[in-house]
Structure 1
Amino acid sequence: MICIILPLISILTSPELVLSSSSLFGSQASSPNQNIYTVSRLNSEVRLLLENEMGIVWLVGEISNFSAPVSGHWYLTLKDSRAQVKCAMFKGNNRRVSFKPANGQQVIVKARLSLYEPRGDYQLIIDSMQPEGDGLLQQEFEKLKMSLAAEGLFAQNLKFPLPPHPKCVGVITSKTGAALYDILDVLKRRDPSLPVVIYPTLVQGENAAIDIAQAIGRANTRQECDVLIVGRGGGSLEDLWCFNHEIVARTIAASQIPIISAVGHEVDVTIADYVADVRAPTPSAAAELVSNDSSHKRDTLRNLTHRLQSTFRHYLAQRKHLWLHTTNQLNRLHPKHQLQRQSQRLDEYEYQLSAAIQKRLSQENQHLSTLAHRLSLRSPVNKLDVQQHQLNQSTQRLRVAMDKVLTFKQHQFSVMVEKLDMVSPLATLKRGYSITQDHKGKVISQAEQVYVGESIITTLESGTIEATVTKVSK
């Protein structure tokens, strides 16, 4: 699609446009000045061509440069390995997106081509967005549904009525699934005598569609039952995908036995539901449709209601298609697109204002830093630092002087200790002399001071001697 649009833009922006504008926008005679385009007029005309000629497109790609400003709009780029395109999704549409987009995510979008006139940027305006897997399945679902509807496979006149009193019911589902047990429980409760034939089959996975078609064919060959229930329990779109295969749809349409489609829950709708003779909202409801009890009239009414719902669904699908077609035409002329473009321009101005504010703040911060530096040069803190340095030097000199005085005093003390040691009685003891004291500690210097039998103590250089006087010589 991009390759188609770019040549169109190149033609519109070529010099020949000035000479041929009358053929593009009217054949009436006009003055030469009217054929000269302004840039604004050129971008406006190109935007109208893009929006009116291309209409709605589907696009798959990887998200990058995702942005969500306070306005609520989304801006992003969709890219693949070789190209990229700018996109905008306005808040009126992105509110319906069920997931949070992220850079690197693969998505499929429904969008219309446009041009952002102020910059001349080619862009997409996104209406809806889905993850790639679910989106592709949904798109494939819609494509097959429209194709089969066009062939008439959903036509009500091709559907068989259910037998009012079935003689045997066939169930085509998984033999281990909860759906089978729900069907059997309902049939046992409502009509225990009703025979049931089970045709086990896969209901999920790659080979499930072929397996289901073969089971329907086998039931038609055997002709054991006069009604068939085909279905399974609930699940995701991918889990139920085997009931959206064309082979299953055509096999159901070709069945000579009436078929009730009972796939998933009430909200789950598959191609099999459209083709089947009757669509039941759940497997249990299908079992109630084929069984009779005291509320037979109520069941008949329910059956008619389901048939009416199926017909109404088909009618709504046709009307929805017509509505979408009409809506797309109206959207191209809707004033909201002008508002969206103005809103996008407002976001652009917001970005510019934010950048200007940031630049001004940066300049003011730089000026403030210069003033702070000049103030610091004149601050009394610097003088205090100098005085503190001088104080530290004086303190250091005082400590050095004190150390010198202390060293000198220590030297004097050592000299005096040596002199004192020279006259100390301890020095005399070192030379072999001793000191003798009586038991009272009095020094004995004469023999008359002691008597025989008295205890005396003699102090030597190392240790003392205690003795008893045995003789005194005068």
Structure 2
Amino acid sequence: MSEISKQILSVGDLNRAIASSLEERFDSVWVSGEISNFKAYDSGHWYFSLKDEEGQIRCVMFRGRNSQVGFMPQSGDLVEVSANLGLYVPRGDIQLTVQSLRRAGMGGLYEAFLRLKAKLANEGLFDAERKRDIPSHPRSIGIITSPQAAALKDVLSTLARRAPHIPIVIYPTLVQGPDAPAGIMAALKAAEKEHAVDLLLLVRGGGSIEDLWAFNDEQLAYAIAQSPIPVVSGVGHETDVTIADFVADLRAPTPTGAAELAAPRKDQLLQELAAIEQALLHRATQRIEREAQTLDQLALRLNHALPNPDRMREQITNWQQRLNQAWNVRVDNLKRNQSHFAAQLEMLNPQRTLERGYAVILNNQKQAARHPKQLNTDTSFEIRLAEGQVQVQFSEVLQGQ
């Protein structure tokens, strides 16, 4: 007997020994089965069982791993899991710790999907910085899908309900089969060439991974990334994920969801316009009231700056009176000066001197003789007296001592 069988073990020790033995025996296994009792906890961890006709086993898939699955499993799904076999010591239950999970039968397709996803992610095609902004109010919307697709009817119905004012352009193409990728790329090119829309919806209804495989085409991924027109993908159901979803500028869970993300609701737009109108009216009213107050202040300052008309008339009357008084005083002064100057002038008048008995002798040039030597007997002289003048000629001029 081995040493361990000779010992008396506790239940916990025994379970730990079994767990260690299982981990050493089974490194990693692939197991297929049907999911039952699936539960997704708030912690992000998944708990479920895998079963078939012969048995079942408990499984756990932790949050860090299940974020890579790409769909939400449901009870009844047939899946394949890669897992480590172990034992949950507290309960003694054998369980699988799942590392990856895929739909049963996907095998090679899923592996190809993961390889392409990793490649394009490394090239930066999924980076948020590369993606274009989705116009909040598109002027026109293009739809890339099959005209026979049920998704088209849902999209058109949603757009007609939410935004009947936005023109719609349909770019028909196959969305399933080997020729679908080339058709979708041709539709992208046609939309780019026509310049008729400023937003594209790439939509298709749900299906198996094989049905949606056209949207995992590598060249299509590059075409979506290089499209100058923003692309919203709405491929399959909410749990379906394709490469086109990762490359698109915005991913919608369904075709209807893509239409809802692309087109703003008409009633919401009208509400926003009404709110903008009220805001503009309020600001305009505030501005008018502010300017009216400024005008009142300027009018008040103007009233203080300009003199009162009555006061101005009173000042003019006073100035006129003062001017008249000043003028009268000036005239009186001028009259007095005139009388004084007239008296002075009268005193200097030669006539007054003549009236006192004097006379003045003028030569031919009407110049007054001031010296006896200016008198002679050769010419005549004019003698002016107080009451007239006479012409005389001297017969003899005697010089006094």
Normalised by the length of structure 2, the TM-score is 0.45
**Which structure would you say has the larger Rg?**
2
TM-score by length of 1: 0.39
Higher relative contact order at CA 8 Å, sep ≥6: structure 1 or structure 2? 2
* Greater fraction of residues in helix: 1
